[in-house]
Amino acid sequence: MLKYIIRRAIQAIPSLLGVTLIGFFLVHIVPGGPAQAMLGPRATPARIAQVNQEFGLNKPLPLQYIQWLGQLLHGNLGTSYFYNETVLHLIAVNMPRTLAIVGLGVLFAHVFSILLGSLQAYYHDTKFDYIMTSLTYFFYSMPIFWLGIMIIMLFSITLNWFPSGGLSNPLTPNPGLGSWIAHTTLPVLTIMLTTVAGWGRYMRTAMSENLIQDYIRTARAKGIKESAVVLKHALRNSVLPLITLLGFALPQLFSGALLVEVIFNYPGMGLLFWDAANQRDYPVILGIVVITGFLTILGNLLADLLYGMVDPRIQYN
């Protein structure tokens, strides 16, 4: 087991390097380059040359990459051109906020999609199933940014239950947990609804495939209670693949979170990236691309290991 973990971790290293390579070259081959971005369109060539000299941007790209990689290994992602903060600090502040809404959204989505998919599969081709299938189609097809707008219109403007955006009320200097819950509820709800729509459909298929398997018939024939047959036998086998699905869904979840953060003006990593992209803040752009790439690769690795742990059929050889 330990050997397997180590081998998988070593296998992830080239992917991690690849992410840094792609991120770095993407940022450095853009026309104009970082110096132009820092100084604006009216910068004189002399000034650009000076900045290039100062930041080591006139060295050959491969050399720059290796130096940057060395800095990265020391946990140094550079300094933002616009915020006068290190990129690492910016990410350390904003990332937990994004992880909070994505994590909570995914957690609730898991619970609801498992519940919904199982019920639909068990009561398949009933009115309940048809209504729920239509609803999941509806939410699955709905653009997340329009869903966000609808949710603001309903819960903030019409009902006035929750604030429409931001992370705290500027008038209260020391916001507590209540304010945090109020500000995160709608973003979490948005992420949850789109995720449930996708995973609920998946769960329904997985569960209905498992419910017609021979081992279910055997279990029933043995006289095991129906609830135990469904919950212990069919459900367990259907839930397992969700772990892998979560690993694969991470990049998509981050993309969705970006849109949600822009709509709700929620100061997470997506909003930070959006601002950075608009301002050409290259160190921040690069830092976020690398960190999200790393997170996804680690997420996939974790999903793999977790899957092996919960499914005794998987052998480590």
| Binding residues for another protein (CB under 8 A) | 14-15, 18-19, 22-23, 26-27, 30-31, 137-138, 140-143, 145-146, 149-150, 152-153, 157, 251-252, 254-255, 258-259, 262-263, 273-274, 277-278, 280, 285, 288-289, 292-293, 296-297, 300
In angstroms, give the least distance from the CB of 173 to another protein: 26
In angstroms, give the least distance from the CB of 49 to another protein: 22
Smaller CB separation from another protein, 33 or 308: 33
DSSP 75: T
Which amino acid, residue 187?
Answer: P
Task: Report the Cα 67 to chain-centroid distance in Å.
Answer: 29
Smaller CB separation from another protein, 61 or 228: 61
In angstroms, give the least distance from the CB of 100 to another protein: 17
In angstroms, give the least distance from the CB of 113 to another protein: 17
Helix or strand run (H / E) with residue 54: helix 45-54
DSSP 140: H
Smaller CB separation from another protein, 148 or 308: 148
How many secondary structure helices (H) and strands (E) does the chain include? 13, 0
In angstroms, give the least distance from the CB of 278 to another protein: 6
Smaller CB separation from another protein, 180 or 241: 241
Smaller CB separation from another protein, 64 or 133: 133
Query: Which of 178, 154, 174, 176 has the alpha carbon at shortest distance from 164?
Result: 154
In angstroms, give the least distance from the CB of 140 to another protein: 7
Smaller CB separation from another protein, 112 or 145: 145
Bridge partners, residue 227, by sequence: none
Give the 3-state secondary structure percentages of the chain, helix then strand then coil, rounded to 5: 75, 0, 20
User: What is the C-alpha separation between 252 and 277, in angstroms, rounded?
Assistant: 19
Query: Which of 47, 46, 37 has the alpha carbon at shortest distance from 80?
Result: 37
Kindly calculate the radius of gyration of the chain based on its CA atoms and give it in whole angstroms: 24
